Amino acid sequence: MGANDLTSEKKMTAFQKVIDHLRDQIRSGKLPEHAALPSERAIGEHFGISRMTARRALLAVEQEGLAYSSGRRGRFVSPQRLTYDISKTVSFFAHAESGELGLKIELISKQIIQADAALAAKLAVAEGDTLYKYTRLFLLKGHPAFVEEEFAVAHLFPDLFSHDLQQSTTLLMEREYGMPPHSGDIAIRMRALNEEEAGLLGLPTYNAGIELEQVIFDAGGRPFCFGRQIWRGELAEFTAHAILRNRRSPTPGKV
């Protein structure tokens, strides 16, 4: 005992070695953005491990956000994370326009629906009121970033569907209907993708993503639009600057 201490890190599991290797390759830039990672089988042979172990390692790297899988085409290096300042704008499109992000919108579906209880509460309308509903896929440089479902109070935006929906609806509502956003209620959480979302985002089902919900209010505090985005988790970062309201003791002196 104590003769072979040179083999320092032998506690490492096989798939952790692979993870570390892939991480290095990606972080060092040897594998640039959107470059293909070795396949499960290739890694298995190269490291002398079974394909299933190689697979676990690749899935871990995927979870880590360093790589993304694209159906049966293979796995690729994730692009750099992008930040979305939720306290400055309610429209990601408006946010993205300034920087050159190569944003593209694909319309997946549009329909006219009746508000259910949950939507009615969020949009301060009666249950059964007419709403526009449309689903869109947002791509950054050709790569899926998030899926958005949006609900708009119908009577405020007559003939909304006659306009092009491949643009910022927030800007559209402001320009065409004189309805500028004034404030927003936002919720962010992590959850698993359902089958449809996974398909659109090119991810395996049950992958985790980040959901961002927002209710947009006009200057009078009336909600007119509710949106629900589900992002590829490795892609997004949300920032905000918060000014704190007066709390229990309105500290005299300053302020």
Partner DNA sequence: CCAATGTCCTGGTATATACCAAGATAAAAG
Partner DNA sequence: CTTTTATCTTGGTATATACCAGGACATTGG
Give residues in contact with a second copy (CB under 8 A): 19, 60, 63-65, 81, 83, 86-90, 94, 180-192, 205-210, 219-220, 233-234, 236-245, 247, 249, 251, 253-255
Nearer to a second copy, 119 or 216 (CB): 216
CB of 102 to DNA, least distance (A): 19
Q: Is 39 in the site for DNA (CB under 7 A)?
A: yes
Smallest CA-to-CA distance from 81 within 145, 173, 164, 20 is with 145
| Residue type for position 56 | R
Which residues does residue 75 pair with via DSSP β-bridges, in sequence order? 69
Q: Helix or strand or coil: residue 176?
A: helix
- Answer for the pair 150, 136: CB distance below 8 angstroms, yes or no: yes
Which of a second copy, DNA, none sits in contact with 124, Cβ below 5 to 8 A by type? none
Q: Is 35 in the site for DNA (CB under 7 A)?
A: no
Among 31, 49, 119, 173, binds DNA (CB under 7 A): 49
Helices 14-27 and 40-47: angle between axes, nearest 10 degrees: 110
Q: Which stretch binds DNA (CB under 7 A): 54-62, 110-118, 173-181, 211-219?
A: 54-62
Smallest CA-to-CA distance from 76 within 30, 37, 25 is with 37
Among 37, 145, 200, 235, binds DNA (CB under 7 A): 37
CA 121 vs CA 46, 125, 218, 226: distances in Å: 57, 7, 16, 11
CB of 56 to a second copy, least distance (A): 9
Among 22, 26, 31, 40, binds DNA (CB under 7 A): 40
Nearer to DNA, 58 or 215 (CB): 58
Give 175's contacts (C-beta < 8 A, 6+ positions apart): none
Which of DNA, a second copy, none sits in contact with 37, Cβ below 5 to 8 A by type? DNA
Q: Is 16 in the site for DNA (CB under 7 A)?
A: yes
What beta strand segments (E) does 86-142 contain? 103-114, 130-140
CB of 227 to a second copy, least distance (A): 13
Residue 126 to residue 194: CA distance in whole angstroms: 29
Four-point Cα dihedral 90, 92, 93, 98, nearest 10 = 100
Nearer to DNA, 55 or 232 (CB): 55
Binding site for DNA (CB under 7 A): 13-16, 37, 39-42, 48-53, 55-56, 58, 69, 71-75, 204-205
